[in-house]
């Protein structure tokens, strides 16, 4: 497919993790808060339902953000492409894993993960005023090994389980030495399936900031992403705010 030019990427998400993934990939973008209220945690029946739910929520967020964008200042202004995303966690039996209500709930959730696997699904949607919408849902399997009680209690005491479906963040827990294995794209667990998303963004020839100095051969960016329309009083959703 011939790459298209002249587009600017709008990340319709308040997630700092999503912003960081795009920055590290050298993608120039703007970040906005989508005016979308997450529905109550729905019931899903199996993996296919969960994949469809993640993609549908991502699309709804992208549409709401696109409709809220101000009109272009001039006819020559780059056309926006809005990226919406939603990440959900699912047990092996197909039930959604929500956010822990309190420390005791977080302790129970994480203990139940030990020695088992669960799935993390991130849906993404790309839409624009004149481009064909694109949606996908990527799945990664996460396995947590045996976690000693001291490590669990030390983590719970930090309060970092708050606002996270399943009560944890993958990269943070791996950095802290937790026995976590991932089958699939780790960035899907964090909040954006970069292995599948980057080729799609390349088709639209979205602007690149270039490598960040000091990053060596790894992709990076010096993108400054400001959050517009953030609503800190908004209640947390069932989404994993990775």
Describe the crossing of helices 149-158 and 103-113 by its angle, rounded to 10 degrees: 140
Q: What angle do CA 186, 187, 188 make, to 5 degrees?
A: 90
Q: Is 86 a catalytic residue?
A: yes
Q: Which residues contact 117 (CB under 8 A, 6 or more apart)?
A: 92, 141, 142, 143
Measured CA to CA, the distance from residue 222 to residue 8 in angstroms comes to 16
* From 86, 93, 138, 176, active-site residue: 86
- Using left for φ > 0, alpha for ψ between -120 and 50, and beta otherwise, residue 179 falls in beta
Catalytic residue positions?
86
């Amino acid at each position: 497919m011939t790459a298209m030019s002249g587009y600017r990427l709008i990340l319709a998400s308040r997630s700092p993790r999503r912003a960081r993934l795009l920055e590290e990939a050298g993608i120039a973008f703007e970040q906005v808060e989508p005016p979308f209220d997450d529905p109550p945690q729905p019931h899903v029946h199996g993996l296919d339902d969960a994949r469809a739910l993640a993609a549908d929520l991502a699309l709804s967020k992208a549409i709401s953000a696109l409709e809220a964008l101000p009109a272009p200042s001039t006819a020559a202004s780059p056309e926006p492409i809005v990226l919406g995303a939603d990440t959900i966690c699912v047990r092996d039996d197909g039930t959604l894993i929500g956010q822990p209500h309190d420390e005791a709930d977080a302790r129970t959730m994480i203990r139940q993960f030990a020695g088992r696997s669960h799935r993390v699904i991130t849906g993404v949607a790309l839409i624009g005023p004149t481009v064909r919408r694109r949606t996908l849902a990527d799945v990664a399997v996460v396995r947590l090994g045996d976690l000693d009680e001291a490590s669990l209690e030390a983590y719970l005491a930090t309060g970092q389980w708050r606002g996270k479906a399943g009560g944890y963040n993958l990269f943070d827990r791996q950095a802290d030495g937790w026995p976590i294995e991932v089958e699939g794209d780790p960035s899907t667990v964090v909040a954006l399936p970069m292995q599948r998303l980057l080729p799609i963004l390349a088709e639209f020839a979205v602007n690149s900031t270039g490598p960040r100095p000091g990053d060596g051969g790894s992709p990076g960016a010096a993108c400054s992403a400001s959050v517009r329309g953030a609503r800190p009083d908004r209640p947390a959703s069932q989404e994993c705010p990775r």
